[in-house]
Amino acid sequence: MFKSIDSWMNLLKAGFDYQLLLSDIWTGTFAELHQELRYSQIKVESLEDWRQFIQIWSRVFDREFAYKLRLEDAILLQGKFLNTVVNYLPHQPQLSKEIVQILELLTKINLINIFNYLYKDKIQVGVTPKTEVYQEDKLVLYRFTPLQPSSLNIPMLIVYGLVNRPDIVDLQSGRSLVAHLLNLGIDVYLIDWGYPSEGDRWLTLDKYINGYLNNCVDVIRDRHNLDEINLLGICQGGTFSLCYTSLYPEKVKNLITMVTPVDFHIHEGLLNVWSGSSLGSQALDVDLMVDTLGNIPGNFLNFVFIMLKPFQLGIQKYIDLLDILECEDKLLNFLRMEKWIFDNPDQAGEAFRQFMKDFYQGNKLIKGQVKIGNKQVDLGNIHIPILNIYAEQDHLVLPASSLALEKYIASVDYTVRSFPVGHIGMYVSSKVQKDLPSAIMNWLKVRT
């Protein structure tokens, strides 16, 4: 009982300190907003409407938030708060359960979920027909139904990350990277990692890369009687693909990385410093999290991503929703994105532990110190052609993190392509959807 009370008191104190930090950010925001309006000679009354003012305020708030939460004292304070939360949970399981039930009830009674219920038949994601060709544990390997005869003799395997669902590459008709690639004559496969359960907490990066990913590559090689296939690795899946290509260079013909983190110590990235790129376990005690929670809840990770731009992602977009309520197409687009954003699988504890400690905190990928099982990952072992695609306005994977790749690989055939969008814009922007698939196809054509 004493330990429970003590952990509760520590949580209250850490929470109070964290709230003071957030209050300081709000105060600083108002000051910055006043200065910006003053120096740009913009008066509130001269703005077209209150939404324009919200947009300016949103930009200023998230800029101030990112600046303050990147400072060492703030990182330590946030790390302490997260640690006390993790320490508190085991002491109050029943209370935690009741709180979660209340929160879940509250989240169900909101406008978004009402819309989701009314339009549930119209907001399905993952729309392109596909066939299951391989299954292992919770993983499923899909082959998308070709829309026309293949114009390339080498199939492509899309490797997405573990954090969100891969449906984003096939979100809806007209905004599907997969469909566009199929229309160009590319034979496309996709790994669906599934939803880890409590029994999967011991899954390691060795299992994901040397096991699941390698088995999927072999299945495709056998189906097409090929020695090599093409890989398209996206975000964390791109990092996995780099590791895989280093370990199995004889199985990969061409590698495409998209919005892929390589240098995890780009301290301008708020996600990097929160994850411990500068202060290690003082910012995020990964061992404490995994040892206490087992699998890392997907909802927790989603909350972290939203907090990178709390005003824009947590408030402004719902205000902007008011402008599209009468346009069903735009509303359905919004709901599909919401469905994908909040569909976060839990993270297998041991895989999460190694990825956070070795990549984010240790930056071992570019140091040649990552070990997957008993195999050493050396980016200098990659000699094949690489197309590296990044988003110029990416706040999750900063351009500098992706562009670092060139310094560590041995490939002489290295191409960079960028698009003036953010991280999510790489999947859903109409301009990107128009240009990206053809850029991939044209690059592959001369390398088959």
Q: In what order do the strands lie in the sheet with 188-192?
A: 130-136, 139-144, 188-192, 156-159, 229-234, 252-258, 386-391, 414-419
Q: Quick one: pLDDT at residue 28?
A: 76
Q: Quick one: pLDDT at residue 31?
A: 76
235 is catalytic: yes
> How would you write the chain as a 3-class SS string?
CHHHHHHHHHHHHHHHHHHHHHHHHHHHHHHHHHHHHHHCCCCHHHCCCHHHHHHHHHHHHHHHHHHHCCCHHHHHHHHHHHHHHHHHHHHCHHHHHHHHHHHHHHHHCCHHHHHHHHCCCCCCCCCCCEEEEEEECCEEEEEECCCCCCCCCCCEEEECCCCCCHHHHHCECCECHHHHHHHCCCCEEEEECCCCCHHHCCCCHHHHHHHHHHHHHHHHHHHHCCCCEEEEEECHHHHHHHHHHHHCHHHEEEEEEECCCCCCCCCCCHHHHHCCCCCHHHCCCHHHHHHHHCCECHHHHHHHHHHCCHHHHHHHHHHHHHHCCCCHHHHHHHHHHHHHHCCCCCECHHHHHHHHHHHHHCCHHHHCCCEECCEECCHHHCCCCEEEEEECCCCCCCHHHHHHHHHCCCCCCEEEEEECCCCCHHHHCHHHHHHHHHHHHHHHHCCC
Per-residue confidence in pLDDT tens, the chain, 448 aa: 445 556 656 666 666 677 777 777 777 777 777 777 666 555 544 556 666 777 777 777 787 777 777 778 778 877 777 777 777 667 655 555 544 554 454 444 454 555 554 455 555 666 789 999 999 999 999 999 987 777 788 999 999 999 999 988 988 777 889 999 999 999 999 999 999 999 999 999 999 999 999 999 999 999 999 999 999 999 999 999 999 999 999 999 999 999 999 999 999 998 999 899 999 989 899 999 999 999 999 988 888 888 888 888 777 877 777 777 778 777 777 777 777 788 889 999 999 999 999 999 999 999 999 999 999 999 999 999 999 999 999 999 999 999 999 999 999 999 999 999 999 889 888 888 889 999 999 999 999 8
Q: Quick one: pLDDT at residue 106?
A: 44
Q: Which position among 216, 235, 243, 327 bears the catalytic label?
A: 235
Q: Quick one: pLDDT at residue 103?
A: 47
